[in-house]
Structure 1
């Protein structure tokens, strides 16, 4: 079947295809998309080749690229598309990287202002009620007036001003009327930010830093800087960097990367904005002191830190049925305690309703949800490493990140403020002070978290005064933060490559540790066999910090090979996470896999996955990029070494 309008030639060679967009899409789908998902993938049983005069489009990859190019033309309102042959024959890695740079970042960019409200208010998570709500800080009168002026322009739109003091009780009271939280306004417009993708239309805590790494690589320092500004706004007006800017996240933060974000954005600027650096640095120090270093909260008696989210009751953002097993267990215990068991027995739903209303009190269940919210604050929702214990752990990851704050503060103050930094309120910080704090933290980490016999750092349960010995990618965050000695690093790298290396990159945790810790068969998405972009990126940089270039390139290749292989086979799919053992995006643990549901073309990929691809390409040597485009199996490639 011929569906080309014309093939433009140059010296007898086809250089460009001129196509009727709608007709060609319909024909491609009819002939090649046999499973009806509006994609051309290796799972389809349709035709795999089209030939027109001298040019043949052959194979799943090229056919799916043609479909994607047509979809782009359709999105731009074109009736006829002129598609260069060079686009059809573009190497997989070049295409993925170009799409990220030219399309995905823009498609993932949002603003909380009049221009951006439509997208945010149409989000399914914007509210579970008739009204769509935006919550505005008590301390931002400009934002209050701005959004109040918009109320009359939108149907069912309500502006709520948060109280001066936000308590867990207040946050629970609005859980059934959730809404977006406002972010920074500048000159009457929302300061932009990048969202992860898919169902996520919020600015997420640690996602944003990794997205920023990719933005800087792609020359979008302006957008990365805007995200830092939104983080600083959150600290000033909400008291912390939020898990995300939704009302039900007001009681918890996320893994802290602000000092790294500030440092990398500032040093990527062409013209250095030292006033911006000073303001951002002051806010980051405020976060360090107020969020992380308040005693008996996130700072524990060991002198090390933990995740500790506040809040009351069942986290409302979880998928329906997520806590069924644990709530059934507690309901059964409650029923067994009743004097007239059979007569007074509650259903699980009745138990939940009475627990949420406060009629039933259960301190053990309260503590379970403290651990659960703290686990979510850690960004690792969920993992058997943290299940029902997170708030009792001095984790390797949080202490590595706070150590990085301390060394970043030392570096920035020493290099850009001559060793002395004076805040707007007149307080002076010296680089020497931060050097001392970092040194003290390193000593404590080596005392409580380092296991000499195993040659690794592990989380420490300060309630039981024992290390967990759970093998996790987070145990290797110290390499990124430059904490270990050369000798420690050597042992850590050996363990990393032996215990957590899989065909598609670094595992979130080891199979052995999951089997020991799990209390049921439910797969946790931050555990074996899954792999995540932030872990890969931190490991690559950590390995390079200690001169392990070969290992960094191998792990980056494995990860990029898996992304590329899946994108080639599945119409450009770039999802939230992967099974790195089976090297597939077909992941169904817990929340499924964001970024896999689209028609014809993904226009956004997934935020930190996009960033990991751009960073990985920078790490690979030219010969490895060539192997990547050939889709050379990593087990074959690295077995030669």
Structure 2
């Protein structure tokens, strides 16, 4: 079940702080694309967040009741912040856990209401120890310090194949009232602190599973995503209840395409779930007036509809509580707006990047502060290309099924394609860009998201030629494809490179006949991955890809330490080696795992 509130229609007056519809004011209003969903009380005002006011952000009163969120009203819908109220806030502020994600993932040892009641009684007694209380009433989820110790005599390919069983999880008894969402089938986790299923990670993971001949596991993972759509009305960011207010880039249709390509299933088997995911992303579209937005849909002044990232909860992310509070304090903006934009960036998968920041031109080398984040003001090119693909696939599948809705989806795809070309194509620069709908202007910074229209076949041949030239001149660096042109300290900026973006670029360029550039990106990336593996016997989440002395290094920045594992890195490296051979031309033989 999804919220059904009508979008705000007043041209310059933002909704009241208590509003929860997700509507926004028109482009002509000040750049506050998130006027709705504010939290009442002092915590919603700009300036200092008082500690006494912090529980007000996350009490049962302020949390949407379960039936207003996607899916059914069930115990798992109530997230840890809503369940534990001031206990949750106190634990997060206490420094008991170095990682804000640890406590939300803890398992209660008895009824949560009883835990809260006992906490309220015990915390005022002399000698009370919060650490002792948490240890008595919660079991910490196990996160291994080192996810896997590899055999130093294994080649890179052998290492990747040996990791799949380590990263695979099977359905087990679901811990009662924990944040973990149960799943019916096996799945692959990214690794490290990420011990649950993640949405867009899994599509790239499946590419590697296909190369490794693990078709059964690919089918099971896709069925898990179908189950999530059927159960909750969306694919959440990850399988924790604190992720249920947001999704990630909608790649379910690409998973289905992959199964069909590998002759593992028919796409028609998943048509109901594809339709329901599309409905989630387009919720409220039919009621919008030009210049307004509702949740993930924006109606531009000419009536064109494009999408943005969003999150239904305007308070700090539970898995990054302290980090979000600190960012809001620095912002000088209403805190609920900052929280919403941080959460929306998490839905994008690019958390975080100068791509979402209201900052000086990042190419000028000036600092980009996370507190200036404005994700909900941006219409991302990769998101809208994915939704165009979903509309196109729905049209074809409905036609195949004899469903008259095929024409509705086909028309929607045609309208979106026209809007993408009008708003998200920068002809002068020859690149696809994001669009700031609140300011009525395209973003001029080039990011690797420019390759998504090529990957999906949306670009024309001339556009693909221009993008290829821009990528070669502006994003190709020593170790592969750069994420952006900016060095900001955020993990989705330089000097980091990420496996999924390499895959999108390589396949997108190949699709349009730019094989030499595709191969160059692949070989540089494989050399980076292989170099670090040679010296450290592991694969990691992200890599530093600017030229440095000595061996390659893992990437930096972000809110948590570099993670080993790592699902999509393993998958993309394996798939690229299958495509281009074992030994990249740009590195030594021992860099791809010859015996040492």
Q: When the two structures are superposed, what TM-score results if normalisation uses the length of structure 1? A: 0.61
* Match among 425, 429, 432 for residue 405 of structure 2: 429
Alignment partner, residue 297 of structure 1: 295
> Deviations along 1:563-618, whole A, 9 cap, x unmatched?
00111112x1200001111463343312355444xxxxxxxx31000111012113
- Aligned position for 2:471: 496
Work out the CA distance in 2 between the residues paired with 1:632 and 1:574. Answer: 13
Q: Distance in 1 between matches of 2:561 and 2:352?
A: 14
Matched, 1:575 2:540: yes
Aligned partners of 2:489 and 2:557 also within 8 Å = yes
Q: 2:459 — aligned with what?
A: 484
Check the 8 A contact 2:527/2:586 in 1, yes or no.
no
Higher strand share: 1
Of residues 448, 453, 462, the one that matches 2:428 is 453
For the residues of structure 1 that align with 2:521 and 2:584, how far apart are their CA atoms? Answer: 13
- Uncovered stretches (5+) of structure 2, i.e. residues with no partner: 1-145, 286-293, 358-372
- Quick one: distance in 2 between partners of 1:258 and 1:72? 32
Distance (whole Å) between structure 1 residues aligned to residue 150 and residue 521 of structure 2? 33
Find out whether 1:630 has 2:589 as its counterpart: yes
1:440 corresponding residue in structure 2:
415
Check the 8 A contact 2:451/2:505 in 1, yes or no.
Answer: yes
Q: Deviations over 1:226-275 (max 9, x none)?
A: 111111111111121010011211111111100110111123136xx44x
| Pair 1:606-2:566 in alignment | yes
Q: CA deviation at 1:313?
A: 1.4
What is the number of equivalent residue pairs in this alignment?
Answer: 416
The alignment partner of 1:385 has SS state of helix
More relative contact order, 1 or 2 (CA 8 Å, 6+ apart): 2
Q: 1:534 to 1:319 in 2, by over 3 A?
A: farther
Check the 8 A contact 1:503/1:581 in 2, yes or no: yes
- The higher radius of gyration belongs to 1
CA distance in 2 between counterparts of 1:370 and 1:561 reads: 38
Match of 1:548 in 2: 514
Question: Alpha carbons of 1:590 and 1:492: their partners in 2 closer, same or farther (altered >3 Å)?
Answer: same
SS in 2 for 1:107: helix
Partner of 2:308: 306
Deviation at 1:630, TM superposition (A): 2.7
Of 100, 108, 119, which residue of structure 1 is paired with 2:160?
100
Give the structure 2 partner of residue 393 of structure 1.
378
| 1:112 to partner: Cα distance | 3.4
Q: For the structure 1 residues 72 and 498, does the alpha-carbon distance in structure 2 shift closer, same or farther, using more than 3 Å as the test?
A: closer
Deviation at 1:557, TM superposition (A): 0.2
Distance in 1 (CA, whole Å) between partners of 2:420 and 2:281 is: 20
Name the structure 2 match of 1:402.
387
What secondary structure, in the 3-state scheme, does the structure 2 residue paired with 1:609 have? helix
What SS class does the counterpart of residue 589 from structure 1 fall into? coil
In 2 relative to 1, CA 462–267 (structure 1 residues): closer, same or farther, beyond 3 Å? same
Matched with 2:85 is none
Residue 524 of structure 2 is aligned to residue 558 of structure 1: yes
Q: Which residue of 1 aligns with 2:183?
A: 183
In the aligned structure 2, how far is the partner of 1:292 from the partner of 1:528? 33
Give the whole-Å Cα distance in 1 for the aligned partners of 2:423 and 2:328: 31
Over 3 Å counting, the alpha-carbon distance change for 1:579 and 1:627 in structure 2 is closer
The residue that corresponds to 1:60 in the other structure is none
Q: Which of residues 511, 521, 524 is equivalent to 2:490? A: 524
- More displaced, 315-324 or 556-565? 315-324
CA offsets 1:486-529 (integer angstroms, 9 cap, x no match): 11111111001111111111111003xx5xxxxxxx61000111
Task: Give me the whole-angstrom Cα distance separating, in 2, the residues matched to 1:308 and 1:321.
Answer: 19
1:369 correspondence with 2:339: yes
User: Residue 324 of structure 1: CA displacement?
Assistant: 2.2
Give the distance between the partners of 1:564 and 1:203, measured in 2 at CA: 26
The answer for the alignment partner of 1:384 in structure 2 is: 354
Instruction: Output aligned runs, 1:59-458, within 5 Å.
Output: 88=153, 95-101=155-161, 103-114=162-173, 134=175, 159-160=176-177, 179-184=179-184, 191-269=185-263, 273-274=265-266, 277-295=267-285, 296-302=294-300, 303-318=305-320, 320-321=322-323, 323-328=325-330, 330=332, 364-387=334-357, 388-413=373-398, 417=400, 420-422=401-403, 428-430=404-406, 432-458=407-433
List per-residue Cα deviations over 1:37-66 (Å, max 9, x = no partner): xxxxxxxxxxxxxxxxxxxxxxxxxxxxxx
Q: Secondary structure at the match of 1:179?
A: coil
Give every structure 1 segment of 4 or more consecutive aligned residues whose post-TM-superposition deviation is greater than 6 Å.
Answer: 70-73
The CA RMSD over aligned residues, in Å, is: 2.6
1:582 to 1:293, Cα distance in 2 relative to 1, 3 A: farther
CA distance in 2, matches of 1:409, 1:293: 17
CA distance in 1: counterparts of 2:384 and 2:410, whole angstroms: 15
Is the alpha carbon distance of 1:392 and 1:321 closer, same or farther for their aligned partners in structure 2, counting shifts above 3 Å? Answer: closer
How far the C-alpha of 1:631 sits from its partner, in A, is 6.3
Structure 1 regions of 5+ residues with no counterpart? 1-67, 74-86, 118-133, 135-158, 161-177, 185-190, 331-362, 423-427, 515-521, 597-604, 634-641
1:554 to partner: Cα distance: 0.6
SS of the aligned residue for 1:406 comes to helix
The answer on whether the counterparts of 2:208 and 2:575 sit within 8 Å (CA) in structure 1 is yes
* Aligned 8 A contact 1:552 1:619 in 2: no
Distance 1:318 1:221 in 2: 35
Q: In the superposition, relative to structure 1, how do residues 489 and 72 fare at CA in structure 2: closer, same or farther (>3 Å)? A: closer
- Contact persistence 2:496–2:556 (CA under 8 A): no
Task: Give SS of 2:405's match.
Answer: strand
For the structure 1 residues 506 and 629, does the alpha-carbon distance in structure 2 shift closer, same or farther, using more than 3 Å as the test? same
Residue number in structure 1 paired with 2:106 = none
Corresponding residue of 2:66? none
Residue-by-residue CA offset, 1:415-451 (whole Å, 9 max, x unaligned) = xx3xx444xxxxx433x54433222211110111111
Name the SS for the 1:304 alignment partner. Answer: strand
Instruction: Provide the C-alpha distance between the structure 2 equivalents of 1:629 and 1:574, rounded to a whole number of angstroms.
Output: 18
What is the deviation of 1:411? 4.4
Q: Does the Cα contact within 8 Å between 2:483 and 2:501 map onto a contact in 1?
A: yes
